[in-house]
Amino acid sequence: MIDLSPEKRRNEAENMQAVPRRHRAYELVQYIYSCIRHKKDDSDDSLPGEIELCRKFSVSRGMAQRTIASLLKGGFIIRKPRKRGIFINPVMREKLPLSIGIAVGGNMNNAMDGNSAAALAGFCGYIAKNVTGTQYFKYLSCEEIENIENEVAMQGLDGLIWIFPEEDSRSAIDSLAANTFPSVAVFSPYIRSSVPFPEKNSFIFDYEKYGRLFALALLRQGIKSPMLYGYHEATFDAVKKVFAENSRRIPKENLLEKEEFFPDSAMARIIQGKADAVVVKGAYQRYNSIIRQFKSQPESRGIPLYLDYDAVTKKYRIDNPDLDIRFIDKTSTDERLFQCGEKAAEKLLELFRNPGTNFASRFFH
């Protein structure tokens, strides 16, 4: 359990004011579960009592008493003869429900897109298959990144999966790791961060390896001078390097990293024969833009368009039979993220089994 700093403790009452009353009992229960699971001193099996729970969660004494009564009835906690307070029931310690927080995006309040949902599905599926007891997944609703430690502590969470954090989330991820709170972050394969990624507890898309793999795939299909549209600069560098190793040179004019709409100048280069394929990464806005350009320029119809493989891009090919739409491979981005979610769950369970530890950040592609 995270040991909040004095400054953060002063914010507890303010944070709790925003919590609807109907959620307080749940949070009291989760907090006591967390205290039981993370009690480091086995000689001290006492737990927070009514007064402390009332102060910490800004609840009535009646609610605290009802919560304690329900846990006593369930056998998770016990009372001892001639001793005041409540205590851990060692028999039930290993049978506690597992409570995992879910954070999405940069402010914990973002809606999920298909990619983030795929990563979460892989994560939850792996947990369900590999944890025999009850699991609770709690979506975190705090709006400020710096409050995430407060929230996981106040809700008594055992761990955290953070999907697609923004680049300004690094300090929060580093702080969670420094406090050895079991947490795993999965970074988006579309993030264009120039800020260093966290060194611990994170899964980061390997732009370089991905670039090398699809460069080799293009070369195997006889492509000599592709136009790359919408890729990360590390991917550009990897593709250029692989092509150079195979005596191929990609002009810098064929590298379009940040353009949201396919530029007319790029279309002109294709018509002039200065690109023999166009490889487009993600963002349906880019797909729509380039398909409109190709359909308006009959001279470009013979140039192959390589798209990411997924259900939407397959429909693009069906809807545009006059265009030569192809796929680099048969593994979609959603499938890659689903598999990454499974690996993130595996690492989180390792952190549960080895309290006080972290793992070095991993790459996926």
Tell me the per-residue pLDDT of 124-145, one tens digit each, with 9 for 90 and over.
Answer: 999 999 988 788 898 887 677 8
The two tokens of residue 111 are: 């809606």
- The tens digit of pLDDT for each residue in 210-247 reads 889 989 999 998 999 999 998 778 888 899 999 999 99
107 belongs to a structural domain? no
- How far is Cα 122 from Cα 108, in angstroms, rounded to an integer? 19
180 belongs to a structural domain? no
pLDDT, position 40: 63
- The tens digit of pLDDT for each residue in 294-340 reads 999 888 878 999 988 888 889 999 999 999 999 987 888 889 999 99
27 belongs to a structural domain? yes
- The tens digit of pLDDT for each residue in 39-81 reads 766 677 899 899 999 988 888 999 999 999 999 998 989 999 9
pLDDT, position 320: 93
pLDDT exceeds cutoff 70 at 260: yes
Q: What pairing do the DSSP bridges indicate for beta strands 135-139 and 77-78?
A: unpaired
Match 């028999």 to its residue by tokens. Answer: 91
Domain assignment of residue 212, given as a range: 207-331
| Average of per-residue pLDDT values in the chain | 85
pLDDT, position 257: 79
pTM of the model: 0.74
User: Of the candidates 95, 129, 156, which is a domain's last residue?
Assistant: 95
User: Of the candidates 61, 95, 129, which is a domain's last residue?
Assistant: 95
Residue of 60, 67, 32, 61 lying closest to 46 (CA atoms): 32
User: Of the candidates 50, 77, 95, which is a domain's last residue?
Assistant: 95
Judging by beta carbons within 10 Å of its beta carbon (0-12, 13-18, 19+), is residue 318 exposed, middle or buried? exposed
Match 């400020």 to its residue by tokens. Answer: 144
Q: Is residue 10 very low, low, confident or very high in pLDDT (cuts 50, 70, 90)?
A: very low
148 belongs to a structural domain? no
Strand order through the sheet with 86-88: 46-47, 86-88, 77-78
76 belongs to a structural domain? yes
160 belongs to a structural domain? no
Number of folded domains in the chain?
Answer: 2
187 belongs to a structural domain? no
pLDDT exceeds cutoff 50 at 13: no
Match 């200065």 to its residue by tokens. Answer: 274
364 belongs to a structural domain? no
The enclosing domain of 270 has a CATH number of 3.40.50.2300
